Chains A and B, each alone.
Chain A
């Protein structure tokens, strides 16, 4: 009886049906784990949209749901970039909004009334489950080991490198784009392996979806041609490659051109040219292949290959020529800065100013990938064992992914899938070696030693390390040690991922959490407090000027028009705001009047020690303004003569007189006993007399002083300067009488 039971337990997982069932159950559990680990923020805070860009996506989704698809497509938004407005429908990637819109309407059709906000908040975790499944499929194409796919799925599900962009509430393009990226790669491998037009068309379809979702589609657009090119160079041109590539390119390009934001870019810009070039080159190779099969002759073949190489060179030269003559747009700044790493700092400060465009220090790699980062090279090495077409893909992807991730922090996201796949291959090959109950018998393999020479000769083209035949592991103790060690590392990995997700990636950044001395949690909710104040106390069309970081949040939460926002399409407009912030009041006031600004919003962390405030970002405002008005705003003026950036009594004159400085520290010293005012971010004591403002009135300051809102004064009733008016109020007499005239706006 008990023996039967043992037998039954031992048999579980041996039958094919049971295995598939187990596999489905495991995948479902993995998806569950992936979703669950992304819910920290919802549990800790609430179901809320995070950060900056998601607020715009959320606003756009609400617009889509309320006004229908066609209105969304033609949406002109007059509540941002005042007074320019933004052709929103034509300048966004609609994939994300349309996805949530479709889910919303589908649920409605099923009579499940779900708030659109909850769909938006939970979209990223839901798609992370799908991503785990997609990496399972992709890994299964790489290896015959059944466990590798499952390991890849769980790695992908909980790796912090992906979680960082897909926690609940992080309603951004990357939320669905990483799933599409991995799935498109899977379909590409499938199409390439089978030479199937159907899979190629599927690949093109998902590529089109990817283009509709994220600007990072260029990664696919460059990686697939590169993979094909490497295959061609290795002499692996085949009709399978031809069919897969041409199907993907023709259909995928057509699909991508349907997106208004992309339009004709695929035939006009440099980052799409490799795909076009390889398409043409493949046609040529296809023709030559046909000719070769028809005409034998070795010399003729040599001639053909030289001919092909020559055409390739001529094509490349033509491309360079067309670019220099201006028919093809050169690399856009953002892409170019990936290659010439010093370019952005000199030419496009707005790109260099974004924190996620900074290069990656090594702790970030370990933080985001933990042990996968050292299993990754081992997995890539395993790919060299067989080096079939799909393994070449992993190698190429690994090289380029790690280069890009090193140059830009945010591209860690595109590296994570390949790391998970490669690490899973390494891990599963370790488990396959050491988790076998059967041990080899030593006497069987003594004979093998003799025939080793022959084996070595046979395996000359392969890797040196795999020249000898596999024997297996003899000792059970050795097996036990390795397996328990690996299990320990895996458990540590899970702990690490959970810890990182919980501590680093689950803060909405709209709501801040801090610990009280007794250990209880204290929520700092200044942002929403201030935005709610704006919503309730200002006119519906009151224009808010703030630095561009807060544009989307003001639009989303306060529903007020803004001058600039996180869609940084107009550098001059941003520089205008930068100039207004960094100039004297007399210069800023006309700028604000001309842009009909009603309120100015600044973020100040000095009281709380909140380091992400505007004074710390101030130099970027200065730099961006200097890029447009180099004679009026100078970065040098904001440093002390000794080259320090200071805010205390020693601060430079330009700094002290700048609007940003005045707004940040206005009335701040009233909070402290005289002479004790302190800035807790910069850690300095402020001068005893605080700055005075003459053209702005303080309108609102949030509980912890993080957000300060100032109202722009109207022109003086008696035609005076605001400075004079303030002086009069303080009881200082005018020195010289001035001629009275109508109210005018002084422009310096």
Chain B
């Protein structure tokens, strides 16, 4: 009786195989296209993925392999999914007669482990484009073209450009983003509310706007922010703190061209203290009428200045190993 399971499995395999072959490429396209018209991108499973991408096909398939489940902690998967759906929807809607013969599909990791395994995928999301193997647009190679998200998040428009490049001489309906009514309403409300409150609060706001101290503070803080490398953090998206080999936290990045977020704030604070003590020495101290208080103030600010500058130099020596200058006490 050992042949029975084997026979059954062979039978099942042959029937599914026969079914897949029997269903002509035309029928398969029609059925998936109706599905696509109903929703945005067709949700696939292992089996339907195999069916859709089976070898003789006169249509193309663009399939997104994604891992939406929060267990995988894939931020970009969740960000890209709505973009993909939007692209699929506007393409399918814009090409109702299906002249481009392109099916958009999505396969999530939880529905299609085997497919992920067979591709040996380590990362998600990945987009595969299956060119047609027969028909007027047949490509030379039947292998899918792979799109990795090496440059980070891509918008629907950027994805559209990639797909349109792979489907030349076919209609490529542009991405149509739906009008975000909520956003418009919120913006209008905020604008009107802001205008009204500005009008009402104008007598109180005006003195603040005309206050020199406020402007001085704003200017100095922005200068400190810019000169302490905050724009570098913004552009390079550096981490706030680093981790060293033993798993501990490091606050100062090694190397002249690197920095951490916290490091720059620290540097900005040091610059601020130095500038403030210089300002106090230049402006405040000579205005103190009491000689004793003035004396104390002079030495206090001079001490802070010296101490801080010495510390700054020692920090700089961490960044630039060959730097020869130092002041006591941080030699």
Binding site for B on A (CB under 8 A): 341-342, 346, 359-367, 371, 373-378, 380-382, 384-385, 387, 395, 398-399, 402-403, 405-407, 426, 429-430, 433-434, 442, 445-446, 448-449, 461-466, 468-475, 478, 481-482, 485, 488-489, 492, 495-496, 499, 503, 630-631, 635-636
- Is A362 a contact partner of B229 (Cβ separation < 8 A)? yes
Q: Judge whether B330 is part of the interface by a CB distance below 8 angstroms.
A: no
Determine whether the beta carbon of B220 is less than 8 Å from that of A377: yes
Tell whether, in the assembled complex, residue A361 and residue B257 are in contact, meaning their CB atoms are under 8 Å apart: yes
- Which of B83-91, B102-110, B178-186, B280-288 participates in binding chain A? B280-288
For residue B271, CB closer than 8 A to chain A, the reply is: yes
The answer for the CA separation of A385 and B288 in the assembled complex, in Å, is: 18
Bitwise, B264-280 to A at CB < 8 A (1) or not (0) is: 10010011101110110
Chain B residue at minimum C-beta to C-beta distance from A373: B227
| Stretch touching chain A among B49-57, B191-199, B290-298 | B290-298
Annotate B314-330 by CB proximity to A: 1 below 8 A, 0 otherwise: 00100110101101000
**Chain B residue contacts of A378, Cβ below 8 A:** 275-276, 278-279, 282
Q: Which residues of B contact A375 (CB under 8 A)?
A: 275, 278
* A482 B219 Cβ-Cβ under 8 A: no
A362 touches B279 (CB 8 A): no
Q: Which of A363, A469, A478 contacts B295 (CB 8 A)?
A: A478
23 contacts between A and B (CB under 8 A): A359-B236, A362-B232, A365-B227, A366-B312, A367-B256, A374-B275, A376-B227, A377-B275, A380-B219, A380-B223, A395-B219, A399-B222, A405-B226, A433-B282, A433-B286, A442-B290, A463-B216, A465-B283, A468-B289, A469-B287, A475-B291, A481-B299, A496-B325
Interface SS, B side: helix
Q: Which residues of B have CB within 8 Å of A446?
A: 289
Q: Are the CB atoms of B281 and A399 closer together than 8 Å? A: no
Nearest residue (CB) in A for B290 is A442
Q: B309 contacts A373, CB within 8 Å?
A: no
Residue of A whose beta carbon sits closest to that of B150: A636
Please state if A381 and B299 are interface contacts (CB–CB under 8 Å).
Answer: no
Q: How far is the CB of B72 from chain A (nearest CB, A)?
A: 18
With A363-B256, A430-B282 in contact, do A402 and B227 touch (Cβ < 8 Å)? Answer: yes
The answer on a CB contact under 8 Å between A489 and B219 is no
Q: What is the size, in residues, of chain B's interface with A at 8 Å between Cβ atoms?
A: 66
Given contacts A377-B223, A384-B215, A406-B226, contact A359 B235 (CB under 8 A): yes
User: In the complex, are the beta carbons of A366 and B316 less than 8 A apart?
Assistant: yes
CB contact between B232 and one of A406, A434, A471, A482 (< 8 Å): that residue: A406
Contact with A along B135-168 (1 / 0, CB 8 A): 0000000000000101100000000001001000
Which chain B positions have C-beta within 8 A of A499? 324-325
Q: Which residue of B lies closest to A630 (CB)?
A: B165
Other-chain contact of A429, B226, B256, B282, B299 (Cβ < 8 Å): B282
Cβ-defined contact, B212 with A462, below 8 A: yes
Query: What would 6 more interface pairs be, CB under 8 Å, given A426-B282, A461-B212?
Result: A361-B256, A381-B275, A426-B279, A433-B286, A475-B298, A481-B299
Q: Taking beta carbons and an 8 Å cutoff, which residues of B are in contact with A?
A: 148, 150-151, 162, 165, 212-213, 215-216, 219-220, 222-224, 226-232, 234-236, 256-259, 263-264, 267, 270-272, 274-276, 278-279, 281-291, 294-295, 298-299, 302, 305-306, 309, 312, 316, 319-320, 322, 324-325, 327
Most buried by B among A365, A381, A398, A495: A381
> Given that A360-B232, A374-B278 are contacting pairs, would A448 and B289 also be in contact in the complex, using a CB cutoff of 8 Å?
yes
Given contacts A375-B275, A384-B212, contact A430 B309 (CB under 8 A): no
Query: 4 closest pairs, A vs B, by CB?
Result: A406-B231, A362-B229, A374-B274, A402-B226
Please report the C-alpha to C-alpha distance between residue A368 and residue B275 in the assembled complex, in whole angstroms: 18
Check A495 against B320 for contact (C-beta < 8 Å): no
Q: Which residues of B contact A385 (CB under 8 A)?
A: 283
Residues of chain B within 8 A of A398, CB atoms compared = 219, 223
Contact status A473-B286, CB under 8 Å: yes
Once the chains bind, are B289 and A433 in contact (CB under 8 Å)?
no
The CA-CA distance from A310 to B48 in the complex, in Å, is 62
- How far does the alpha carbon of A363 sit from the alpha carbon of B259 in the complex, in Å? 9
Q: How far is the CA of A485 from the CA of B299 in the complex (A)?
A: 11
Chain B residues within an 8 Å CB radius of A381: 216, 220, 275, 279, 283
Q: Which residues of B contact A481 (CB under 8 A)?
A: 298-299, 302
**Chain A residues closer than 8 Å to B287, beta-carbon distance:** 465-466, 468-471
Closest to B232 in A: A359
CA distance A399 to B282 in the complex (A): 22
Say whether A359 contacts B231, CB under 8 Å. yes
Q: Give, as a whole number of angstroms, the nearest-CB distance from B328 to chain A.
A: 11
Q: Is the CB of B165 within 8 A of A377?
A: no
**CB < 8 Å neighbour of A407 from B235, B259, B267, B282:** B235
In the bound complex, residues from chain A placing their C-beta under 8 Å from that of B213 are: 463-464
Q: Complex Cα distance A511/B257, Å?
A: 24
A346 partner, pick from B151, B223, B294, beta carbons under 8 A: B151
Residues A631 and B165 in contact, CB atoms below 8 Å apart: yes
Distance between A450 CB and nearest chain B CB, rounded to angstroms: 11
Q: How far is the CA of A74 from the CA of B89 in the complex (A)?
A: 56
> Which of B165, B259, B272 interacts with A362 by CB under 8 Å?
B259
B275–A403 CB distance below 8 A: no
B271 (CB) vs chain A CBs: closest residue: A374
- Chain B residues with Cβ below 8 Å from A496 are 325
A387: which B residues are within 8 A, CB to CB? Answer: 212
Cβ-defined contact, A341 with B231, below 8 A: yes
When distances are taken between beta carbons in the complex, the residues of chain B under 8 Å from A469 are: 287
Q: List, in ascending order, chain A residues with CB within 8 A of B316's CB.
A: 363, 366-367
From B213, B227, B270, residue with most partner A Cβ within 10 Å: B227
Q: Are A363 and B320 in contact (CB-based, < 8 A)?
A: yes
Quick one: given A376-B223, A380-B220, A384-B216, are A403 and B231 in contact (CB under 8 Å)?
A: yes
Query: A433-B286, A485-B302 are contacts. A426–B232 as well, Cβ < 8 Å?
Result: no
